[in-house]
Amino acid sequence: MKITYIGHSCFRIESKGFAIITDPYEEGSVPGTKGMQETASLVLCSHEHHDHNGRGAVTMVQAEENPFTVKQLDSYHDDVKGTKRGPNKIALMEAEGIRVVHMGDIGCDLTEDQYKELHGADYLLLPVGGFFTVGPEKAKELAEKIGAKHIIPMHYRCGRSGYDAIGPVEDFTKLYESVSWPGTSVLDTDAAPSEKVIVLVSENALDKPAKP
Question: The domain containing residue 27 runs over which residues?
Answer: 2-198
For the chain, percent of residues with pLDDT exceeding 90:
90
Tell me whether residue 170 is in a domain. Answer: yes
Query: 156 and 183 in contact (C-beta within 8 Å)?
Result: no
Tell me whether residue 206 is in a domain. Answer: no
CATH code: domain of residue 60: 3.60.15.10
Tell me whether residue 94 is in a domain. Answer: yes
pLDDT in tens, 130-179: 999 999 999 999 999 999 999 999 999 999 999 999 999 999 999 999 99
Tell me whether residue 7 is in a domain. Answer: yes
> CA–CA separation, 199 vs 169, rounded Å?
8
pLDDT in tens, 58-75: 999 998 899 999 999 998
Tell me whether residue 203 is in a domain. Answer: no
Tell me whether residue 205 is in a domain. Answer: no
Tell me whether residue 69 is in a domain. Answer: yes
C-beta neighbour count of 127 within 10 angstroms: 30
Task: Give pTM, 2 decimals.
Answer: 0.96
Domains held by the chain: number: 1
pLDDT in tens, 22-49: 999 999 999 999 999 999 999 999 998 9
pLDDT of residue 43: 98
Q: How confident is the model at residue 77 (pLDDT cuts 50, 70, 90)?
A: confident
